[in-house]
Amino acid sequence: MAHDHDHHHGHDHGHDRSQGAHPFQPDLEETPLTHYQAMTQAVGDLLIEKGIITADELRAMLESIDAKSPAAGARMVARAWVDEAFKARMLADVNAAAAELDIDAGGIPIRAVENTPGVHNVIVCTLCSCYPRLLIGLPPDWYKSRAYRSRTVREPRAVLAEFGTTVPDDVEVRVHDSTADLRYMVLPRRPAGTEGWSEEDLAGLVTRDCMIGVSLPKSPEPQPRA
């Protein structure tokens, strides 16, 4: 099981989740800033004070990140399924391949790892929640949870099974640990029965969880015979 523990994180977004339908959530003003939250705020204030960016530019960037969805990553996966040359370029350099489709993947390097008949990949960030947001949207709460971050490294098959993904014993599970300097996304296998499908229809099969590696694209339902 391959993973990398060489982290150089500049933030910490781990969260504990309480049990119950409506867990208590204190107002942000009621809790002290963490070290990294204070550092982030100070850097933002300094950039604005020095005239490097404006407050409006910072707000616009945050809004842009918050608005991202898995659609961009799904487009890339669909193109890779129908274009072997593009898939090779994507596996070599996700950021450059994204630019070919007019997708801004950001400045942090992203590495695509391909599922094959003998290998299943799953992504985690063991120290916080590093994640290719510009390609697959905001990370889900469970991705940031301490349980997922710790258990996925120790018992990946058990964690995958809880998502309904059973990996056969003869398939190797590889866990990839994202860092502040390198992010990962999974290139899932194309489902059987999709021969001749358009890229748009194929992209509709690709979900955020598929690109994290905790689930698989669903095969199309068989059509009833006339």
Q: Considering the candidates 18, 64, 128, 145, report the single residue annotated as catalytic.
A: 128
Given the residues 69, 125, 150, 215, select the one marked as catalytic. Answer: 125
Residue 210 bears catalytic tag: no
CB 186 within 8 A of CB 112: yes
Is 129 an annotated catalytic residue?
yes
Active-site choice (64, 130, 215, 219): 130
Q: Which of 64, 69, 129, 210 is catalytic?
A: 129
Catalytic residues: 125, 128-130
